[in-house]
Amino acid sequence: MKNIMVVLGLLFLFCSAEAAETAYTKRADNYVREGPGSYFTLIAVVPENSAVTIQESKANWLKVHLSDKKSGWMSANSLTETKPASARIVAVEKLWSSPKASRAGVSAAIRGFAEKRDKTPPGSVENVLKNSVKTFGEAEFVAFRQPLLPPRAALENVMTFEDLDLPTPVYDAGISEQQIGLGVAARLSTKGFVTAPALVQYVNMIAAALAEQSPAYDWDFSVYVLDDSTVNGFALPGGYIFITKGALQMCADESEAAAIIAHEMAHVTRKHGVQEISKRKVHIKADDAFAELEEDTGEKSADEAEMDELVHKTYEQIVAPRLFSYELEADRVAAVLLARTGYDPYGLVRIAEKVARIPREKPDMFDPGYMAPDNLSKRAKATGAFVDEHFAATKNGSRLRERFIEATSRIR
């Protein structure tokens, strides 16, 4: 509820003719995009406590003026109308050329570091970057989500994220999620990607549609399809989501595929991976790491060695069985997300039941189970009970079977 009031306050700030049109950034890094959506190109990063002038608004996005020649879109999540004690004017000319001004830019700053690591094969970072570029624009996305948008009145009685009453995640905010996520993504990518352009665009538009209806509407999620016939999914810090070809082949319609993606997105937004990393009490200073990683030295610095170990431990954690409590929480968040996006929330129940029935005779590193078979069965039953309790009255949730069959035809 607090987040909703902040957004409404910012929108009122812009709409009121007599109110000041200045807002202030409140995150350590605040992203500026070409358009009002997380799938638009990231063009700048503005530091905390920077003053910006609001030009116009669209949904939860605000077009801001940063200099005489530069402007872009920021999420309401990034801004506050409360003037900080030390507000500053941003030197935007420097920010626009910053290496942080895109996921590729962030990754370029750590590419040398990642590929010097013993467990990160050469070229794997570039492979992740190449497959993270969004290939769809606003018109395509609007057309994609049109069959999903439920009438506003239909959402009035649908459970909200605030209704879940989840505790605030406790984690070490000093951990660099982008760096850790990229390092683990590079290792997972060695399994090989399905690179069919239509399929890659399809799964990323599903993620964009889900993200748009969540509190994390301004997060930059990238979905990758691993060329692996087992059934699995991985959620990495920084918004990297991996699902296997086998997981998509198991789905009968788009609501089930969306359920898998929504579940993995929930792991990211609820900081499950970062919480586990934090418990290892490993601290990475991102700014120092960026400075050191741009130097082409042959030996690992103390920070590099620490980051290397953290990437290795995170990789082990990602492919290991997840905590049952995290799985249940991710399922509940996913159910709400599906319903509020316009998907059939029972797609989550159907996919959970299918996963619980998968034989376990030949487990390997990419074992289809996140946990022991008994827990998979318990998870499926718990998810079914939750959806029955809160969404049984939800009508006309979309399954979009025909669109799903067409989009995934290349892997069937």
Q: What is the pLDDT of residue 66?
A: 77
Average pLDDT, whole number, for the chain?
77
N-term to C-term CA, the chain: 44
| Sign of the torsion formed by the C-alpha atoms of 181, 184, 189 and 191 | negative
Top CATH class of 2-10+21-96 equals mainly beta
The reported pLDDT for the residue numbered 17 is 38
Tell me the pLDDT tens digit for each residue of 117-175: 445 666 688 888 888 888 899 999 999 999 998 766 677 788 999 999 998 887 666 55
- pTM, entire model: 0.81
pLDDT of residue 191: 85
- Out of 18-32, 36-50, 111-125, 323-337, the most confident range is 323-337
Percent of the chain at pLDDT > 90 equals 40
- Name the DSSP letter for residue 293: H
**Whole-angstrom distance, CA of residue 285 vs CA of residue 295:** 16
Report whether pLDDT(99) > 50: no
The pLDDT of residue 95: 52
Query: Residue 43, Cβ neighbours under 10 Å: how many?
Result: 17
Residue 374 in 3-state DSSP? helix
Q: Any idea what DSSP says for residue 218? A: T
Identify the residue whose tokens are 């994390």.
216
Per DSSP, the residues of 235-292 read EETTTEEEEEHHHHHH-SSHHHHHHHHHHHHHHHHTTHHHHHHHTTT----HHHHHHH
Output the CA torsion 378→382→383→385 (10° steps): 140
What is the rounded CA–CA span in Å between residue 255 and residue 253?
6
Check whether 342 has a pLDDT greater than 90: yes
The Cβ of residue 325 has, within 10 Å, a number of other Cβ atoms equal to 9
- Provide the 8-state DSSP code for 84: P
The residues of the chain that CATH labels 2.30.30.40 are 2-10+21-96
Q: Is the pLDDT of residue 364 over 90?
A: no
